[in-house]
Structure 1
Amino acid sequence: MLKREYTQMSESYVVGALLAVVGGFLDAYTYISRGKVFANAQTGNIVLMGLNISQKNFSSTIHYMIPIAAFILGIVLSELIRSRFKQNSLIHWRQIVVAVEIVILTVVAFVPKGNMDLIVNSAISFVCALQFECFRKYTTTMCTGNLRSATEQLFIYYHTKNVQELTKGLELYGIILFFIFGVILGTVLTNMIMERAVLFSCIILAVVFGTMFRKEKILN
């Protein structure tokens, strides 16, 4: 007899796909409207900071140190929220994180481009850190890890014929496609309405917030 079990929607594929769209969207948004910067991953900022230090351009390092610091603070805040609200029965702690993301990105939408871009990019780095730390089943702010894991799963399937490995691999490739869709969508909307385009990612996050009130049904 099949047994029905329920799991939190925050770890569902639907939520992962929506967050991947947001991740791609934000990368396109910051690149097009906020000084050609990718705010999601910090590897580039760390490399550029190191290059400027090696060239003794110490005044320029601040432009890379601030987003890195914002990313670190985002990780810290996400852990504080998790530890404080993990046992809350009224709202899931990840919903609080998503609500914080929505508030920050809404403010960002009304900050004019130009002199404030460093602050905006740091704020988006903060948001991406929250998302990266709290939603771990699928990496939704960058693609390298998903590409590695998906290819690994398909390689394992090729040798074992284990359908579960195939499913996992295809799911991860799907997350990458959703990320690419987010980049395309972000490019189109940002070219149309510039700073305000980020409000569309707030709409997606609002859908994610509402989705997490449900429980995903699993039949065993």
Structure 2
Amino acid sequence: MKLKSYENLHETFLVIVFITLAGGFQDAYSYLMRGRVFANAQTGNIVLLFKNIVDLNFKESIAYLIPVLSFALGVYLAVRFEDAIEKRVLHWRQYVIGFEIIIMILVAMIPKSLDNLANALLSFSCAMQVYSFKKIHGLNFATTMCIGNLRSATENLSKYHITKQEVYLENAKKYYTVILIFGLGAALGYLTSKGLGIKSILIAAGLLAISFFILFLEEHGQA
């Protein structure tokens, strides 16, 4: 079923499924294969950053500072990108997904000795994704982290028990489902990283490519 406007195609659940799977995958991949640094969970990186600063372990501090700064840069440039790019052949969000796919391919070719570079690229990519895809049918979601989704899910569940309004229960189900999908993406990242090593990030690229293809079909289906 097509939506009325291309502007909210990125909110369709099918698109969010593959993007969120990729988000969970990237976090597992960066932690397991790239020096126990999180691509998405910048809160964890900041905690470990300041822990290493206190320990005067400045080399390790840099490893956690780089993804934090890259994430911030990714959000900043995604906002600028949205403002600058006019819709031509594709929508600006499709360009973002395409750029993410290119980043994943590059990361797959970066050796372990350059983990800091790989993590910087992954955090930059995740930041662009978290800015570009942040709603499902009007609800605010995060496709690369869980804390906000968990808060919103439980808030809606509590409101349902207070008001008995079904809309709150449906909202809670959507949020909990996205959290589950993220977890499944992380599990997939864990399983494939063990077998494929640093090349496993190409699976995340494939998941993003599916989202890109869905948007592409929808766009031309409305023409």
Following the alignment from structure 1 to structure 2, what is the Cα–Cα distance between the partners of residues 60 and 17? 34
1:65 aligns with 2:68: no
The aligned counterpart of 1:56 is: 56
Q: Residues 49 and 61 of structure 1 are in contact (CA less than 8 Å); yes or no, is this contact kept in structure 2? A: yes
Q: What CA distance in whole angstroms lies between the structure 2 residues aligned with 1:121 and 1:128?
A: 10
Give the TM-score taking structure 1 as reference length: 0.89
Shift of 1:97: 0.7
Cα contact 2:66–2:119 (8 A) shared by 1: no
Match of 1:153 among 152, 156, 161: 156
1:125 aligns with 2:128: no
Matched ranges for 1:56-95 at <5 A: 56-85=56-85, 87-95=86-94
User: Aligned-pair distance for 1:179?
Assistant: 0.7
1:28–1:60: structure 2 CA closer, same or farther, 3 Å change rule?
Answer: closer
Task: Give the C-alpha shift of residue 56 in structure 1.
Answer: 3.3
Task: Describe the superposition over 1:106-138 as per-residue Cα deviations: whole angstroms up to 9, x where unpaired.
Answer: 01111222x111111111111111111111112
Say whether the 8 Å CA contact 2:71–2:126 is kept in structure 1. Answer: yes
Partners of 2:37 and 2:45 within 8 A in 1:
no
Q: What pairs up with 1:1-220 in 2 under 5 angstroms?
A: 5-7=4-6, 8-85=8-85, 87-113=86-112, 115-137=113-135, 138-213=141-216, 214=218
Deviation at 1:89? 4.5
Task: Identify which range, 141-150 or 28-37, moves more after superposition.
Answer: 28-37
Q: Could you tell me whether the CA contact under 8 Å between 2:37 and 2:63 is conserved in 1? A: no
Q: 2:59, 2:205 → 1: CA distance?
A: 34
Please report how far the alpha carbon of residue 66 of structure 1 lies from its aligned counterpart in structure 2 after TM superposition: 1.5
Name the SS of the counterpart of 1:36 in structure 2.
coil
Relative to structure 1, is the Cα distance of residues 58 and 187 closer, same or farther in structure 2, using a 3 angstrom cutoff? closer
Q: Look up the equivalent residue of 1:123 and give its one-letter code.
A: L
Distance 2:106 2:184 in 1: 24
Alignment partners' CA distance in 1, 2:177 and 2:111: 34
The share of aligned pairs that are identical, in percent, is 40
The CA distance in 2 between the partners of 1:32 and 1:106, in whole Å, is: 18
**Structure 1: gaps (5+ residues):** 216-220
The alpha carbon displacement at 1:54 in A equals: 2.8
**Cα RMSD for the two superposed structures:** 1.8
Query: C-alpha separation between the residues in 2 aligned to 1:191 and 1:97?
Result: 29
Amino acid in structure 2 at the alignment position of 1:124: L
> Does the CA contact (< 8 Å) of 1:71 and 1:128 recur in 2?
yes
